């Protein structure tokens, strides 16, 4: 073991002889977490403003257009070889499946759920995504069981659910609940398949194709409702551009980064902190939000759950650099 820079320890694995950057990798995961959380929180705030003046379906279609546009500009500027854009039939099928689970089914399910549920109730039910991810991963053998990960998922899910449980929760009809859980299940499958299928592909290339296919699935709706599209105010267009191009586009890329470094369970848990950040920020700025002692406790519980999953991902780094890659703990 030797120190290259202050605070950065490099370890040589006796089993493999490879230099591992354990502390650097842990710090990198933490940095990715902070950045994606900031972008998530910004998306939350802007989404609430946009939904107030634009229908959710129309907002999603336009948002996807700007996301796709920015990602493809990014791709064209960063990829020097045109061969990088070429897709095999297997690649088309792979990206199509990911676009269906991660975007089409997820968005349609949440829109249908909002017909019966309040936004806070939907957010509360979507807090089940880490639990769905972990259970499905273990059942299908793509995730290894660990008590630390189990308790992390349990704590973060409980914290996310209770934090978003506001006064007057009624949950509407059973149909809304079913659609909310379908959305959570769909996004969980998207994360698991992304980790399994996109490990060796360029993240920007993959996400660009996935969002393009997702936008194409929304295109018929946009064409049918072209009157509403033309009637959008410039203020709404600018908000949707910021939301889709400047916030969502980097979030989709960073999500894949967090997924590859910290694992799918950790990646699907980070988003549960976004409502906490938004509510606390609005409360500090004097906004009309409920922030009592109980909600503060549940926010701390959510943070504890994410921390436990971060520690679990960090323990994988330690095992990896010792040459022990047993199981699929990184997932």
Output the average pLDDT for the chain.
Answer: 82
Q: Which of 57-66, 171-180, 228-237, 303-312 has the highest mean pLDDT?
A: 303-312
Rounded alpha-carbon distances, angstroms, from residue 33 to 38, 48, 118, 122: 9, 23, 28, 23
What is the model's pLDDT at position 190?
Answer: 96
| pLDDT tens digit sequence for 268-281 | 999 999 988 888 88
Q: Which residue has the higher pLDDT, 3 or 144?
A: 144
In the structure, what pLDDT confidence band is assigned to residue 49 with cuts at 50, 70 and 90?
Answer: confident
Q: In what order do the strands lie in the sheet with 8-12?
A: 2-5, 8-12, 19-20
Work out the pLDDT band at 167, boundaries 50, 70, 90. low
Q: Looking at the DSSP assignment, which residues form a beta bridge with residue 192?
A: none
Helix (H, G, I), strand (E, B) or coil at 120: helix
Q: Is the pLDDT of residue 128 over 80?
A: yes
């Amino acid at each position: 073991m030797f120190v290259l820079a202050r605070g950065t320890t490099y370890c040589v694995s006796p089993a493999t002889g490879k230099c591992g950057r354990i502390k650097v990798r842990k710090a990198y995961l933490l940095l990715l977490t902070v950045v994606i959380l900031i972008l998530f929180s910004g998306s939350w705030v802007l989404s609430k403003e946009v939904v107030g003046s634009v229908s959710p379906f129309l907002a999603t279609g336009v948002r996807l257009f700007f996301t796709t546009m920015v990602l493809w500009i990014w791709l064209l500027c960063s990829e020097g070889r045109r061969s990088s854009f070429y897709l095999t039939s297997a690649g088309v099928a792979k990206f199509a499946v990911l676009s269906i689970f991660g975007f089409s089914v997820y968005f349609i399910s949440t829109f249908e759920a909002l017909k019966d549920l309040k936004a806070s109730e939907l957010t509360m039910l979507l807090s089940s995504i880490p639990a769905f991810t972990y259970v499905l991963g273990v059942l299908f053998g793509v995730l290894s069981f660990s008590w630390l990960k189990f308790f992390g998922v349990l704590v973060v899910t409980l914290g996310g659910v209770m934090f978003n449980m506001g006064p007057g929760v009624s949950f509407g009809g059973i149909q809304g609940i079913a659609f909310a859980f379908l959305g959570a299940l769909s996004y969980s499958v998207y994360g698991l398949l992304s980790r399994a299928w996109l490990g060796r592909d360029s993240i920007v290339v993959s996400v660009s194709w996935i969002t393009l296919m997702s936008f194409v699935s929304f295109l018929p709706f946009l064409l049918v409702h072209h009157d509403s599209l033309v009637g959008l105010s410039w203020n709404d267009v600018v908000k949707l551009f910021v939301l889709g191009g400047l916030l969502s586009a980097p979030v989709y890329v960073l999500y894949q980064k967090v997924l590859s470094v910290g694992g799918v369970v950790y990646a699907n848990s980070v988003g549960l902190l976004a409502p906490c950040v938004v509510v606390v920020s609005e409360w500090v700025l004097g906004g009309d939000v409920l922030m009592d002692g109980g909600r503060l406790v549940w926010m701390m519980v959510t943070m504890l759950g994410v921390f436990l999953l971060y520690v679990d991902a960090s323990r994988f780094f330690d095992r990896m650099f010792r040459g022990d890659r047993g199981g699929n703990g990184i997932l």
